[in-house]
Amino acid sequence: MHLLKYLLLPFAWLYNLITRLRNYLYDIGHKKSFQFDTIVISVGNLNVGGSGKTPMVEYLIRLLCSQYKVATLSRGYGRKTKGFRIAKDDDTALTLGDEPYQIFRKFKERIVVAVGRQGIGHSHYFK
């Protein structure tokens, strides 16, 4: 295990360099950032699956939907459709992706569920 630490060290340095460069580009205004007029909670990380993102989203929906108008936005991994889509009664796991469909079926009367490949960039729709 000690050897692996040293073998992976150059990748950690590269990741650090890329992250610092990206942040610098935002700092100098080369990459544009934006701010929402509403509260946004982002649930995610670098893990692909099995890290508890969907159960956390469901918990937040239960916690917040009685006080706020709640919408979820997901990439809709595994769906067969393209582009931005707001969930409707005739949608399935094939049109939304399995996890957005699961959330839609559980909470469809209380929230808006949407999928879109560009992720958070579509949140302006819910202002």
For the full predicted model, state whether its pTM sits above 0.85: no
Round to whole Å and give the CA distance between 46 and 116: 19
Domain that holds residue 3: 1-32
Within-domain flag for 41: no
* Segment 84-112, tens digit of pLDDT: 999 999 999 999 999 999 999 999 889 99
pLDDT at 49: 66
117 and 85 together in one domain: yes
27 and 62 together in one domain: no
The total of structural domains in the chain comes to 2
Kindly list the distances between the CA atom of residue 49 and the CA atoms of 80, 88, 116, 124, in Å, as whole numbers in the listed order.
19, 25, 18, 27
75 and 121 together in one domain: yes
| Mean pLDDT score of the chain | 87
